[in-house]
Structure 1
Amino acid sequence: MRRVDREVTERSELLGILKGCRVCHIGMTEGNRPYVIPMNFGAEWEENGVVIYLHCAREGKKLEILRGNPNVCFEADCSHNLIEANKACGYGYEFSSVIGSGRVEILEDPTEKAHGLSCLMFHQTGKHFSFTDTETDSVSVLKIKLEDISGKRHTG
């Protein structure tokens, strides 16, 4: 990272940034073409690192791409605020962000899917929910174990 003064490395700070973000961007590739989509997500820290949960329809372009190449990039940013100045080049922007990469697993087990959906809903709402097998069967749940993760923060 070029700006090491803005680097976030502490686990608690990385999770804090993730908790403040509601939308992430998932980058994937189809052949040699990039495809990036915004998605709501849930995050938790397991023994081996950060796990991201996403949900989507049971069919569609995203799943087709991921079945062909499960390698993805994850990005989330939040805490946005314009830093004003007297000159154009003095302006800046406050932000916090997390980026990482990993492999998507399309969950099939109803218990695992329910856990992922619960994590996502808690992240988005702060409330705990449970899911029936019928409910978990109606959606696809994606799990990304981030193999690498980095964070960055800029404040005024």
Structure 2
Amino acid sequence: MNPIKFNSMLGTLSGEQIEHVLRNQIIGRIGCYAADEVYVVPVTYVFHEGYIYAHSKEGRKIKMMRKNPNVCFQIDTMENMTNWRSVIVWGVYEELKTESEQVAGMKIMMDRLMPLITSESVRPTQGNAHPPEIIEKGFKAVAYRIKVTKSTGRFEKTSAYDLE
């Protein structure tokens, strides 16, 4: 029986690799800070031309981002515990307020997410391509984007090979 050796490498992702991770994932974690409180929550998102697009019911994170638009966003991909990529971006929350901004933002999200939709929680504005005033249980749907201002990424890659 041949012994197996593992080769592990930790490294920093390039800008192109960071964008690849951002473009190819749809779940990330947004970090907000307001009133001496940090709040981190997963969101469905789409990365498009330097912006992270998302939507949410008008709740805690939206209220916090309105108070402090500076946010952090984290995405990762994992094959296993020793083969992963992680990206952190910093940016500025921008609510899509006009009807034309909302329609454009929702189109970006719908084009990417519609083929993947399997539940109500990821369906942008509950499947409506024209978002503005959706009210459900007292919460208004809010379309927004985060202008990415800074990013960083790390990875670990481990491979095994025979010692022959």
TM-score bracket for the superposition, by shorter chain length: 0.7 to 0.9
Q: Which residue of 2 aligns with 1:77?
A: 76
Match of 1:136 among 132, 135, 138: 132
Calculate percent identity across the aligned residue pairs: 24
Q: Which residue is equivalent to 1:101?
A: 90
Q: TM-score, normalised to structure 2's length? A: 0.72
Highest CA radius of gyration, 1 or 2?
2
1:39 lines up with 2:28 in the alignment: no
1:66 counterpart SS class: helix
Q: Is the 8 A contact 2:30 2:72 kept in 1?
A: yes
**Structure 1 Cα separation of the partners of residues 146 and 71 of structure 2:** 8
Q: Which AA in structure 1 matches 2:155?
A: R
Change (3 A) 1:114 1:38: same
Q: Structure 1 length normalisation: TM-score?
A: 0.75
Structure 2 partner of 1:52: 52
Measure, in 2, the Cα distance between the counterparts of 1:109 and 1:140.
11
Aligned residues: 134
Change (3 A) 1:62 1:130: closer
Whether the 8 Å contact between 1:118 and 1:130 is mirrored in structure 2 is no
Q: Which runs of 4+ in 1 moved over 3 A?
A: none
1:5-20 mapped onto 2 (5 Å cutoff): 6-11=11-16, 13-20=17-24
1:152 is the counterpart of 2:154? yes
CA RMSD of aligned residues (A): 2.3
Q: Give 2:162's aligned residue.
A: none
Given residue 107 of structure 1, which amino acid in structure 2 is its aligned partner?
L
Q: 2: CA distance between counterparts of 1:137 and 1:98?
A: 33
Stretches of structure 1 that go unaligned for 5 or more consecutive residues are: 83-91
Greater length-normalized contact order (CA 8 Å, ≥ 6 residues apart): 2
- Check whether the contact 2:29–2:40 (CA below 8 A) recurs between aligned residues: yes
